[in-house]
């Protein structure tokens, strides 16, 4: 191991925790003890412990010490792009419409307000496997209908109006029978169960700015999530 010292210390402690040598709620050696053990400074030991704390393996309590945390078996990371089911998008239509009730509620539109709609069908090997609808509140000041040829994800569509870093999304996943337009676009009968993925895009302060619905056929395969929080690469 030619890692930095604090990486090596973190690895050794992590191994003890993952192997069960240190069990949940156990107390780790104190920072001073670890500094003596590894013949280093307290600062370096703290860097190692910070890593484990970020990974959720350990929690520091002032005046007490570092405790091994019980595992978070209910937290999963799901990678699911607006635009990465895999396949070719074919634009179905773009237009300005009065939205249906679900969309109006999600976007908090009042009566009479309209939305720009982008509808696409996703093809894989020539077969329709998903149907995608995107709704953005219609704003007379903004040229609403753009990019009707290619496929754009939400953040491209909203780029001119919102800083990319300021938006977040809530996904809702449910099972449903296809709606009439979806059944037609996907060429499936009404009894094929589809996976519906609804996407609500919000500003940092919670105002809805866009709403999307995707209907996935069984050909898309399952949506997969892995336990553990997403960790940004720490070399």
Partner DNA sequence: AAGTGGTCTAGACCACTTC
Partner DNA sequence: AAGTGGTCTAGACCACTTT
- Measured from the CB atom, the residue of 51 and 115 that comes closer to DNA is 51
Residues 6+ apart with CB under 8 A from 201: 154, 158, 167, 168, 169, 208, 209, 210, 211, 212
Binding segment toward DNA, per CB under 7 A, in 31-39, 107-115, 211-219, 223-231:
31-39
The DSSP element (H or E) to which 216 belongs, if any, is strand 208-216
Report how far residue 230's alpha carbon sits from residue 233's, in angstroms, rounded to the nearest whole number.
9
Identify the residue among 32, 42, 204, 207 touching a copy of itself (CB under 8 A): 204
Q: Which of residues 142-181 bind DNA (CB under 7 A)?
A: none
Residue 73 half-sphere exposure toward CB, CA atoms < 13 A: 1
Report how far residue 132's alpha carbon sits from residue 81's, in angstroms, rounded to the nearest whole number.
13
- Contact between 24 and a copy of itself by CB under 8 A: the answer reads yes
- 177 token code pair: 């029978």
Binding segment toward DNA, per CB under 7 A, in 12-20, 38-46, 118-126, 213-221:
38-46
- Contact between 65 and DNA by CB under 7 A: the answer reads yes
- Report what 107 binds from DNA, a copy of itself, none; CB cut-off 5-8 Å by kind: none
- Measured from the CB atom, the residue of 114 and 212 that comes closer to a copy of itself is 212
Q: How far apart are the first and last CA of the chain?
A: 14
- Measured from the CB atom, the residue of 113 and 219 that comes closer to a copy of itself is 219
The DSSP element (H or E) to which 43 belongs, if any, is helix 42-54
Binding marks (x or -) toward a copy of itself, 32..71, rule CB under 8 A?
---------------------xxxxx----------x-xx
Which residues lie near DNA (CB under 7 A)? 4-7, 28, 30-33, 39-44, 46-47, 60-66, 235
């Amino acid at each position: 191991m030619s890692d930095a010292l604090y990486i090596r210390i973190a690895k050794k402690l992590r191994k003890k925790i993952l192997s069960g040598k240190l069990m949940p709620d156990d107390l780790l050696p104190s920072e001073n003890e670890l500094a003596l053990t590894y013949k280093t400074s307290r600062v370096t030991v703290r860097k190692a412990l910070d890593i484990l704390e970020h990974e959720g393996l350990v929690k520091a309590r002032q005046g007490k010490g570092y405790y091994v945390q019980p595992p978070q078996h209910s937290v999963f990371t799901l990678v699911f792009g607006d635009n990465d089911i895999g396949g070719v998008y074919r634009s179905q239509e773009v237009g300005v419409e009065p939205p249906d009730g679900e969309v109006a509620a999600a976007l908090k539109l009042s009566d009479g307000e309209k939305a720009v709609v982008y509808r696409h069908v996703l093809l894989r090997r020539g077969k329709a496997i998903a149907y995608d609808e995107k709704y953005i509140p219609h704003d007379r000041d903004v040229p609403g209908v753009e990019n009707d040829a290619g496929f754009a994800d939400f953040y491209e569509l909203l780029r001119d109006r919102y800083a990319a870093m300021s938006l977040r999304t809530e996904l809702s996943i449910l099972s449903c029978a296809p709606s009439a337009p979806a059944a037609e676009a996907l060429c499936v009968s009404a009894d094929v169960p589809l996976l519906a993925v609804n996407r609500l895009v919000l500003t940092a302060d919670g105002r809805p700015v866009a709403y999307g619905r995707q209907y996935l056929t069984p050909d898309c395969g399952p949506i997969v999530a892995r336990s553990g929080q997403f960790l940004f690469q720490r070399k």
